Amino acid sequence: MRLLVVEDDKDLNRQIVTALENAGYAVDKAFDGEEGLYLGETEPYDAVILDLGLPKVDGVAVLQGWRRAGKTMPVLILTARDRWSDKVGGFDAGADDYVVKPFHVEELLARVRALLRRAAGHATSELVCGPVRLDTRASRVVVDGNPVKLTSHEYRLLSYLMHHQGRVVSRTELVEHLYDQDFDRDSNTIEVFVGRLRKKLGVEIIETVRGLGYIAAAPEKV
């Protein structure tokens, strides 16, 4: 899952980005509305954290710009305490959720998880595909009840495929959603990661669809 954080307060930006990266997401960052607007229009994010009080272009205008451009990713807005009019303006502009500053980073993480799974049509924080269970709260994976240790890249890959299970996901889409902007992207490495992931899981839930990509699906019962 790839996220964008738009926040002009450098310390807060760093704090949010660090927490999200530690939780296993690929994260891009912007420090003003202009940069944020551009990134959100041009890059495929799974969710965005957007401050409303931003230099150059304010948050509500940024959000309106994305929605006008047809961008539907979930957006969580950060608002100042007691500014109820900000929240109303934010929701009217197309926000999906909000957090009031100052906030606990754990609350932000929980809301981001909820936005991501709702966007993918899942009601709970645990994703299940055949014998594989992925707990998005603890970033843990178990197969037939046994914990499997994955690297953060492998976890991200599995998490993306399981959020979108039953649908073919192309290599390009994976590359775009698993790595941040600064990463040296090479779609060949996806194949390597898929290979390692299959080996570690030991069950066949990731199918290769020749020429198209990959699909996560429960193995057929014998």
Residue 53 touching Ca ion (CB under 5 A):
yes
Total residues interacting with Ca ion, rule: CB under 5 A:
3
Stretch touching Ca ion by CB under 5 A, among 18-26, 43-51, 86-94, 209-217: 43-51
Smallest gap, in angstroms, from Cβ of residue 54 to Ca ion? 6
Smallest gap, in angstroms, from Cβ of residue 161 to Ca ion? 35
Smallest gap, in angstroms, from Cβ of residue 112 to Ca ion? 19
Structure tokens at 194: 């898929």
Structure tokens at 7: 């926040």
Smallest gap, in angstroms, from Cβ of residue 53 to Ca ion? 4
Indicate left, alpha or beta for 44 from its phi (over 0: left) and psi (-120 to 50: alpha): beta
Cα 131 to chain centroid, rounded = 24
Stretch touching Ca ion by CB under 5 A, among 19-27, 48-56, 64-72, 100-108: 48-56
Which of 46, 51, 86, 97 touches Ca ion by CB under 5 A?
51
Percent of the chain that is helix, strand, coil (3-state, to 5): 40, 25, 35
Residue 24 or 53 with smaller CB distance to Ca ion = 53
Return d(Cα 14, Cα 9) in angstroms, integer. 9
- The angle at the Cα of 10, spanning 5 to 14, to the nearest 5 degrees, equals 55
- Phi and psi (nearest 5°) for 166? 90, -5
Smallest gap, in angstroms, from Cβ of residue 8 to Ca ion? 5
162 half-sphere exposure, CB direction, 13 A CA radius: 26
Which of 2, 8, 57, 213 touches Ca ion by CB under 5 A?
8
Stretch touching Ca ion by CB under 5 A, among 44-52, 66-74, 118-126, 185-193: 44-52
Residue 53 or 131 with smaller CB distance to Ca ion = 53
Residue 35 touching Ca ion (CB under 5 A):
no
**H-assigned helices in 57-104:** 59-68, 84-92
* Pairing, β 75-80 against β 47-51: parallel
Smallest gap, in angstroms, from Cβ of residue 119 to Ca ion? 25
Which residues sit at the interface with Ca ion, rule CB under 5 A?
Answer: 8, 51, 53
